[in-house]
């Protein structure tokens, strides 16, 4: 199968999923009040919230696009830009910070070639900062998706990224 075609189908699948979720909510009598959970679902499905998705939600829930845009930009959890397969959250909380997490962050920036809250061109990595992940005893720490990486050094960081890159054969670059 042609690669582009596969991507297309993938996208339609996602839209179907979202619309189904909205229909379920509406079936239970929720309309405008379902916005937050619909946005969470949309981000879960797509990884980010695009203008097209906002227009779709606007139509389904009867909420003006300007208002949805307001909600999406109000909450830090939502992102309007595509994010990577691996979300790297470096802890900059006090304990990690005094134990050198700033150096870890800088190393990551250097290795990945991106700044904070940016995503690599191949859509593999997104770099974010968090303020205390609650495991100060393991500091400095970072999380990649749901996994915690402890007692980091710059050397370790380079190794981790290298492994993830090798592990990841599927490139997400064109899906969205």
Partner 1 sequence: MGNTITIIVNNKPYPVEDGQTIMQALDKIGFHLPRLCYHPKLSVEGACRMCIVEVEGSNNYVTSCTAKVAEGMKISTNTAELRKARRDILELLLDSHPVDCNTCERNGNCELQDLARSIGVKIRQFEGEKKQYEIDLSSPAITRDPNKCILCGRCIRMCSEIQGVNAIDFTNRGFDSTVVTAFNSPINSSVCINCGQCINVCPTAALSEKYYTVELFRELSDSKKIKIVQIAPAVRAAIGEAFGMEPGTNMEKQTVATLRKLGFDKVFDTQFSADLTIMEEGYEFLNRLTNNGILPMITSCSPAWIKYAEQFHDEILPNISTCKSPMSMMSSILKTYYAKKIGADPLNILSVAVMPCVAKKYEAQREELKIDGIGLTDIVITTRELAWMIKSAGIDLVSTKGEEFDNIFGFSSGAATIFGVTGGVMEAALRSAYELYVGETVVDIEFNELRGFKGIKEAEIKMGDKNIRVAVAHGIGNANAILEIVKEDPSRYQFIEIMSCPGGCINGGGQPYAGSEYIALNENLLEKRASVLYQIDRSKTIRRSHENPEIQRLYKEYLERPNGPKSHKILHTRYAKKSPRGVVYNGKM
Residues that bind partner 1 (CB under 8 A): 51, 54-56, 58-59, 62-70, 73-74
Task: Report the nearest approach of partner 1 to the CB of residue 60 (Å).
Answer: 9
Q: How far is the CB of 139 from partner 1 (least distance, A)?
A: 28
Toward partner 1, which CB reaches closer, 68 or 104?
68
Work out how close the CB of 15 gets to partner 1 at its nearest, in angstroms, rounded to a whole number: 14
Token pair for 7: 């991507």
User: Which C-beta is closer to partner 1: that of 117 or that of 163?
Assistant: 117
Distance CA 139, CA 150 (A): 6
Pick between residue 80 and residue 154 the one whose CB is nearest to partner 1: 80
Q: What is the DSSP string of 86-132?
A: EEEEEE-SHHHHHTTHHHHHHHHHHHHT--TT-B-TTS-EEEEEES-
């Amino acid at each position: 199968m042609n690669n582009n075609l596969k991507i297309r189908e993938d996208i339609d699948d996602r839209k179907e999923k979202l619309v189904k979720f909205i229909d379920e909510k509406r079936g239970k009598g929720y309309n405008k009040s379902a916005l937050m959970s619909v946005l969470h679902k949309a981000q879960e499905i797509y990884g980010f919230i695009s203008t097209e998705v906002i227009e779709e939600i606007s139509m389904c829930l009867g909420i003006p696009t300007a208002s949805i845009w307001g909600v999406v930009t109000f909450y830090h959890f939502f992102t309007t830009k595509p994010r990577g397969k691996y979300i790297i959250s470096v802890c900059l909380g006090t304990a990690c910070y005094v134990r050198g997490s700033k150096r870890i962050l800088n190393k990551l920036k250097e290795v990945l070639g991106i700044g904070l809250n940016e995503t690599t061109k191949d859509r593999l990595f997104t770099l974010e900062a968090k303020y205390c992940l609650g495991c100060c005893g393991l500091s400095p720490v970072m999380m990649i998706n749901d996994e915690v990486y402890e007692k980091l050094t710059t050397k370790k960081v380079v190794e981790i990224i290298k492994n993830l890159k090798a592990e990841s054969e599927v490139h997400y670059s064109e899906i969205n």
